[in-house]
């Protein structure tokens, strides 16, 4: 064979192999990322658009049930999810035995104290009913927000496992009721105030800026990525997370949510 032909054939073979690998990657199943319904999914979808430009297909799967994304991830129906703070994930792992691991933080979605009957904290009447989420970690989060508002006092050493039993001061004799997180916006027709997570506030049409009080960027309840232990080092997941934690996504969050969602990077 002509010596000048051999290098050409070698290069052609490499090019062909590269094309085959590219075709294989494009034909691969897309990454499936779980999220609870609401604004979190908008951010993931924007990042998925960035990924698509780099040849990485990402499918965003929305759930209306807080417990479903972790169950789907553990069962292998998702590759990762991004909808929960670390205390919630830790509770799910302990309670359900999932072999899931936490990745980097993403955003703080401030919980707010909302009301349809009063415009300020001072107007909240004695004996009023205030609703908080009934899941353990968001219930504690709601109690911390009520404490920040000066409406209750929690016992020394209160942490993410805090419950209504840890309330040691309640000067207005508020009645604290625990309801499903998704029902809290609707409960505002029946209660004086409710602590509502941002995704459910937005879905129900509440203006986050109308809250009597909101968490700030120092909240302990920043959202985190979650994967299974067996795919935590998947390079496709890591690449998508890197794209999510980019300046482009930060700019999108600032423009779209006007300070109601706070990036952690």
Residue 4 has pLDDT above 80, yes or no: no
Tens digits of per-residue pLDDT, 23-54? Answer: 334 447 999 999 998 889 999 999 999 999 99
Q: Calculate the dihedral angle through the C-alpha atoms of 62, 64, 68, 73, rounding to the nearest 10 degrees.
A: 10
Same structural domain, 206 and 230: no
d(CA 260, CA 241): 21
Residue 260 has pLDDT above 90, yes or no: no
Same structural domain, 193 and 146: yes
Same structural domain, 29 and 73: yes
Among candidate residues 173, 198, 214, the one where a domain is terminated: 214
22 — pLDDT class (breaks 50, 70, 90): very low
d(CA 115, CA 196): 10
pLDDT at 177: 98
Question: 28-32, 90-94, 153-157, 197-201: lowest mean pLDDT where?
Answer: 197-201
Number of domains into which the chain is organized: 2
Same structural domain, 21 and 89: yes
CA 253 → CA 14, 236, 249, 250, 265, distances in Å?
42, 23, 6, 5, 12
In 3D, which of 59, 79, 81 has the Cα closest to residue 70?
A: 81
DSSP state of 179: E
Same structural domain, 124 and 165: yes
CB atoms within 10 A of CB 190: 12
Q: Which CATH number covers residue 149?
A: 3.40.190.10
Residue 1 has pLDDT above 60, yes or no: no
The DSSP result for 125-137, as a single string, is: PTT-EEEEESSHH
Q: Which residues contact residue 218 at a Cβ distance below 8 angstroms, ignoring those fewer than 6 apart?
A: none
Same structural domain, 209 and 119: yes
Same structural domain, 18 and 34: yes
Same structural domain, 64 and 78: yes
pLDDT at 26: 44
d(CA 58, CA 11): 32
Same structural domain, 9 and 98: yes
Question: 19-28, 155-164, 185-194, 225-234: lowest mean pLDDT where?
Answer: 19-28
Same structural domain, 21 and 86: yes
The verdict on pTM exceeding 0.95 is: no
**Kind plus residue range of the DSSP H or E element containing 115:** none
pLDDT at 20: 36
Q: Is 27 helix (H, G, I), strand (E, B) or coil?
A: helix
Among candidate residues 214, 229, 255, the one where a domain is terminated: 214
Same structural domain, 83 and 123: no
Question: 55-64, 176-185, 242-251, 252-261: lowest mean pLDDT where?
Answer: 252-261
Give percent of the chain above pLDDT 70: 90
Same structural domain, 99 and 226: yes
CA 12 to chain centre: 47
Domain of residue 85 covers 5-109+221-263
pLDDT at 102: 98
């Amino acid at each position: 064979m002509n010596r000048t032909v051999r290098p050409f054939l070698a290069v052609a073979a490499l090019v062909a192999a590269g094309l085959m690998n590219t075709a294989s990657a494009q034909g691969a199943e897309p990454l499936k990322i779980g999220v609870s319904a609401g604004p979190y999914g908008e951010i993931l979808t924007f990042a998925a658009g960035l990924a698509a430009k780099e040849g990485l297909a990402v499918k965003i799967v929305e759930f209306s049930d807080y417990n479903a994304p972790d169950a789907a991830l553990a069962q292998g129906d998702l590759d990762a999810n991004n909808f929960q703070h670390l205390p919630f994930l830790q509770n799910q792992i302990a309670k359900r035995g999932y072999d899931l691991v936490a990745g980097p933080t993403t955003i703080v979605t401030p919980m707010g104290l909302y009301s349809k009957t009063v415009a300020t904290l001072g107007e909240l009447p004695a004996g009023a009913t205030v609703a908080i989420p009934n899941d353990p970690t968001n219930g504690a989060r709601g109690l911390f927000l009520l404490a920040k508002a000066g409406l209750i006092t929690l016992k020394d050493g209160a942490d993410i496992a805090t419950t209504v039993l840890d309330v040691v001061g309640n000067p207005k004799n508020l009645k604290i009721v625990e309801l499903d997180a998704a029902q809290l916006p609707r409960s505002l027709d029946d209660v004086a105030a409710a602590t509502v997570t941002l995704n459910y506030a937005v879905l129900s049409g509440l203006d986050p800026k109308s809250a009597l009080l909101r968490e700030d960027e120092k909240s302990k309840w920043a959202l985190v990525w979650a994967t299974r232990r067996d795919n935590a080092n998947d390079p496709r997941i890591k690449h998508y997370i890197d794209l999510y934690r980019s300046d482009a996504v930060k700019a999108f969050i600032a423009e779209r949510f006007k300070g109601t969602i706070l990036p952690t990077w």
